[in-house]
Amino acid sequence: MSDSDIPRILIVEDEPEVRDALIRDVAPFEGQFVIEAAEDVDDAHAALASLEAAEQSVALVLCDHLLPGVHGVDFLIELNGDPKTASARKVLVTGQAGLEDTIRAVNNADLDHYIAKPWQPEQLMAVVVATLTDFVIEQGIDPLPYVSTLDGERLLEHYARRASDR
């Protein structure tokens, strides 16, 4: 698999120590996914423009809510409304989103999961595995390279069903 074929995980977090912790906690997925980090929505837009220019896809966005400028929920809603990024799995990682913002994220951003800060690394890993497994299945990506990293049982079941449908 060439680097341009590897889906991306985009982390959007303004606090450097929290961003570093998220990067550290998703590091086991490196190799299967490229991890990109942004400190705010403008930085995330620049990363997305670069990925689009290189014809690379975003598989998962882990996004804080309280960011300088545009809030994370608004960014996730924007991603969901753009055909180029709508298929990305979206996880809100925050301790600051109120009920109204969380409901907006669920209803308008097609939010896949909400993780409250501080998170447990095992909880984050489980969410990342589930959401990336969903992405691989829904995008019709060959699941075999991901069997050892993601939910191998679900991927193999999907692969077997797909093979029997042919």
Angle between helices 121-138 and 16-26 (to 10 degrees): 60
Q: Is the pLDDT score of 87 beyond 90? A: yes
Counting Cβ atoms within 10 Å, is residue 110 exposed (0-12), middle (13-18) or buried (19+)?
A: middle
What confidence tens digit (pLDDT) does each residue in 128-166 have? Answer: 999 999 999 999 999 999 999 999 999 999 988 877 877
What confidence tens digit (pLDDT) does each residue in 26-81 have? Answer: 999 998 999 999 999 999 999 999 998 888 889 999 999 888 888 899 999 999 99
Angle between helices 72-81 and 99-108 (to 10 degrees): 10
Going by C-alpha positions, the residue among 54, 131, 40, 44 that lies closest to residue 82 is: 44
**In angstroms, rounded to a whole number, what is the distance separating the alpha carbons of residues 160 and 139?**
16
Provide the β-strand partners of residue 36: 10
Mean pLDDT of the residues in the chain: 90
